[in-house]
């Protein structure tokens, strides 16, 4: 495990040494910040209109349910587009620059290499995600949201990140081109996103599509419910692609 | 001598095409083995199997008695490897990178600083610790590459074309460094430059077409190459154009096998390549023959085939032997 942490640390250092990481964090802060402001304004307007009606509307607004929940789901979609930019570099760049030879001739297993690369990418993802905590903190400043549902939502987003980063790592192991790796990851993630809408048509095929969808499993956590089936979905998703990545790394040895 | 690296009937196929075929040799403790062959002979493939980068399709590699396939991690720990392209992260500082390589190869956290210090001093990087690798010259990159291969103090050092792409001064420095490093460890280095092995190596393994062609000390090999080159003595004579008369006279001269007339240069001179029947020194007779034919004698020299040429001829002819055998 030590070797994995050594690789993970270098991965993070390399990302922070290039401007890419800061551009990504900045882009996320900007886009997420835009949605946050829009959602918040909408929330406040609706709230004011409801209080003017004086309870006749029969409904009530809750900051968790009507602001944070949709906000977290939106965050997932923004992250969907940024994950490929984090993961594409990972193994593809090592192969391109010849440093893969350093890793593959070091006394460490292929699994440790993949684990290190994954942890590095995941750590960058979590750092990016942490930017959005600022916005949530603002809500705490002005209101009293329930903290547990928020934690559940962030756990969901973390699991979502583990799964998508693992997928990106797999595509990064297939090619020596970062661009190819990034485009393949984005295409796969977009596909796993849109099947959520296709899945709403119902039927057994629809249910299958809904289950496969990478964003669909965020619905419950975003509402504050950590369901075992969602956790299992993300963990097995991540595990599957990590194992696949290890196999590609191994086959790279045979191909030379 | 106790063998440290044993390559035992190793075959490597890419698809169905074999890159290395039934190759066997061993490297003794403290020895510098030169791995010589034309490009595409299977040198890099063999080194990649010795370093555990790729497993052989057949046969086995033992490092200090440890099988590379059975116990890859234990075997790889004993090896330091400098690939043809030094594996460097351009954004890192030299010291930072060497510490990373040391940790990766199992140097304990507390020993890293000492190991980096030692290896930097040894590879001439003492003043370059905080330099960004991406800004370094080719020669310095090569030094960092050597340093990363050495940082965990391996018993075996494997260097793939360590002097490729360096200028003559850097080549000289690198060779001295390799000789010095070899004092307390085993070194396997590949090259396609024959003079390199005569300078640095104790023993030479020549491969071409993925097969072993020769295995000997550089001195004995040089003697063999010299013998192989015998009987093909050529004298180059420079004369003025037209050179028909001189060429005709030379063809008729005793001991001359053939005369090849070169093309005319801008200055109006022509080089005649005179192939002799044996390797006797006939330069004075040839000079008299040219003057006797009424042509001016502007230059005359024995064209010795370079060591490389002879070596290539040897590997080519032995390759044919190998196919028919």
- Residue A101: name the closest of B40, B160, B83, B75 by CA: B83
pLDDT of residue B226: 59
Q: Which residues of B touch A10 (CB under 8 A)?
A: 89, 92, 100
Q: Is the pLDDT of residue B324 over 70?
A: no
Q: Is the pLDDT of residue B228 over 80?
A: no
Angle at B253 between CA B251 and CA B255, to 5 degrees: 100
**Structure tokens that stand for B171 in this block:** 């080549």
Q: How confident is the model over A237-253, as a mean pLDDT?
A: 95
Task: Report the 10 Å Cβ neighbour count for B135.
Answer: 8
Of the candidates B48, B72, B88, the beta carbon closest to that of A99 is on B88
Whether the CB-CB separation of B23 and B9 falls below 8 Å is answered with: yes
What are the E-state strand segments in B44-183? 58-63, 66-67, 79-82, 156-160
Which of B89, B108, B144 is best to mutate for the A interface (most A CBs within 10 A)? B89
pLDDT of residue A183: 97
**Residue-wise pLDDT tens digits, B53-66:** 999 999 999 999 99
Of the candidates B14, B87, B106, the beta carbon closest to that of A107 is on B106
Q: Which residues of A touch B210 (CB under 8 A)?
A: none
Residues B85, A254: C-beta atoms closer than 8 Å: no
Q: Is the pLDDT of residue A144 over 90?
A: no
Residues A254, B55: C-beta atoms closer than 8 Å: yes
| Residue B233 backbone phi and psi in degrees, to 5 | -65, 135
Closest Cα in chain B, distance from residue A219 (Å):
41
When the pLDDT of each residue in chain A is averaged and rounded to a whole number, the result is 91
Q: How many CB pairs under 8 A join A and B?
A: 71
**Residue-wise pLDDT tens digits, B145-167:** 999 999 999 999 999 999 888 88
DSSP lists the bridge partners of residue B156 as B79, B186
Q: Is the pLDDT of residue A57 over 60?
A: no
Closest Cα in chain A, distance from residue B247 (Å):
54
- Residue A31: name the closest of A80, A64, A90 by CA: A80
Looking at chain B, which residue has its C-alpha nearest residue A1?
A: B104
Closest Cα in chain B, distance from residue A253 (Å):
5
Residues A102, B101: C-beta atoms closer than 8 Å: yes
pLDDT of residue B246: 86
- Assign B263 a pLDDT band (cuts: 50, 70, 90): confident
Q: What is the ipTM of this complex?
A: 0.89
Q: Is the pLDDT of residue B207 over 50?
A: yes
When the pLDDT of each residue in chain B is averaged and rounded to a whole number, the result is 85
Q: Is the pLDDT of residue B325 over 80?
A: no
Q: Is the pLDDT of residue B309 over 70?
A: no
Burial class (CB in 10 A: 0-12, 13-18, 19+), B74: middle
Q: How confident is the model over B191-214, as a mean pLDDT?
A: 84
**Residue-wise pLDDT tens digits, B25-51:** 999 988 999 988 888 888 999 999 999
Q: Which of A129-138, B95-104, B187-196, B314-323 has the lowest mean pLDDT?
A: B314-323
Q: Which residues of A touch B14 (CB under 8 A)?
A: 255-256
Of the candidates A14, A101, A108, the beta carbon closest to that of B87 is on A101
pLDDT of residue A36: 93
Of the candidates A2, A10, A98, the beta carbon closest to that of B83 is on A98
Residues A98, B85: C-beta atoms closer than 8 Å: yes
Helix (H, G, I), strand (E, B), or coil: what is residue B24?
strand
pLDDT of residue B1: 67
Q: How confident is the model over A163-173, as a mean pLDDT?
A: 97
Closest Cα in chain B, distance from residue A98 (Å):
5
Looking at chain A, which residue has its C-alpha nearest residue B50?
A: A105
- Residue A100: name the closest of A108, A111, A112, A92 by CA: A92
Q: How confident is the model over B217-225, as a mean pLDDT?
A: 73
Which of B40, B53, B99, B133 is best to mutate for the A interface (most A CBs within 10 A)? B53
């Amino acid at each position: 495990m030590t070797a994995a942490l050594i690789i993970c640390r270098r991965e993070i250092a390399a990302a922070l040494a290039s401007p890419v990481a800061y551009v990504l964090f900045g882009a996320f802060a900007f886009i997420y910040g835009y949605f946050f402001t829009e959602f918040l304004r909408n929330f406040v307007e609706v709230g004011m209109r409801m209080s003017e009606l004086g309870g006749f509307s029969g409904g009530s607004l809750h900051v968790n349910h009507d602001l944070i929940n949709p906000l977290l789901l939106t965050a997932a979609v923004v992250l969907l587009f940024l994950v490929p930019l984090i993961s594409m570099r990972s193994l593809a760049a090592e192969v391109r620059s010849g440093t893969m030879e350093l890793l593959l001739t070091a006394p460490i297993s292929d699994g440790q290499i993949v684990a290190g690369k994954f942890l590095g990418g995941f750590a960058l993802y979590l750092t990016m995600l942490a930017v959005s905590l600022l916005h949530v903190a603002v809500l705490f400043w002005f209101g009293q949201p329930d903290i547990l549902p928020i934690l559940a939502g962030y756990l969901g987003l973390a699991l979502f990140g583990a799964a998508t980063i693992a997928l990106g790592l797999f595509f990064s192991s297939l090619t020596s081109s970062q661009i190819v790796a990034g485009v393949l990851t984005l295409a796969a993630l977009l596909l796993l996103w849109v099947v959520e809408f296709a899945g709403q048509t119902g039927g057994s095929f629809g249910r299958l599509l809904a289950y496969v969808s990478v964003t669909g499993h965020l619905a419950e956590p975003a509402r504050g419910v950590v369901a075992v089936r969602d956790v299992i979905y993300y963990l097995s998703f991540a595990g599957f692609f990590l194992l696949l990545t290890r196999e590609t790394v191994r086959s790279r040895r045979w191909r030379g | 001598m106790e063998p440290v690296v044993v390559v035992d009937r190793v075959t490597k196929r890419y698809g169905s095409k074999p890159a290395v075929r039934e190759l066997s040799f061993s490297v003794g403790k403290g020895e510098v083995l030169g791995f010589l062959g034309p490009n595409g002979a299977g040198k890099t493939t063999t080194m990649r199997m010795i370093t555990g980068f790729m497993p052989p399709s057949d046969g086995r590699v033992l490092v200090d008695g440890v099988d590379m396939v059975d116990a890859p991690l234990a075997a790889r720990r004993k090896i330091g490897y400098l690939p043809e392209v030094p594996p460097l992260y351009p954004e890192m500082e030299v010291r930072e990178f060497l510490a990373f390589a040391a940790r990766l190869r199992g140097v304990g956290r507390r020993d890293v600083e000492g190991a980096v210090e030692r290896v930097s001093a040894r590879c001439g990087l003492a003043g370059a610790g905080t330099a960004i690798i991406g800004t370094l010259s080719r020669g310095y990159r090569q030094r960092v590459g050597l340093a990363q291969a050495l940082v965990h103090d391996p018993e075996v050092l494997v260097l793939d074309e360590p002097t490729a792409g360096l200028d003559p001064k850097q080549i000289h420095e690198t060779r001295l460094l390799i000789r010095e490093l070899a004092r307390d460890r085993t070194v396997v280095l590949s090259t396609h430059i024959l003079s390199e092995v005569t300078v640095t190596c104790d023993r030479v393994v020549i491969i071409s077409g993925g097969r072993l062609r020769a295995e000997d000390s550089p001195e004995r090999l040089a003697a063999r190459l010299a013998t192989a080159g015998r009987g093909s003595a050529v004298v180059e004579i420079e004369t003025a154009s037209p050179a028909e008369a001189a060429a005709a006279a030379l063809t008729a001269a005793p001991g001359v096998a053939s005369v090849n007339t070169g093309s005319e240069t801008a200055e109006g001179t022509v080089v005649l390549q005179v192939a002799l029947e044996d390797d006797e020194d006939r330069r004075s007779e040839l000079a008299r023959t040219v003057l006797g034919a009424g042509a001016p004698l502007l230059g005359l020299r024995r064209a010795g085939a370079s060591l490389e040429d002879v070596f290539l001829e040897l590997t080519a002819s032995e390759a044919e032997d190998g196919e028919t055998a």
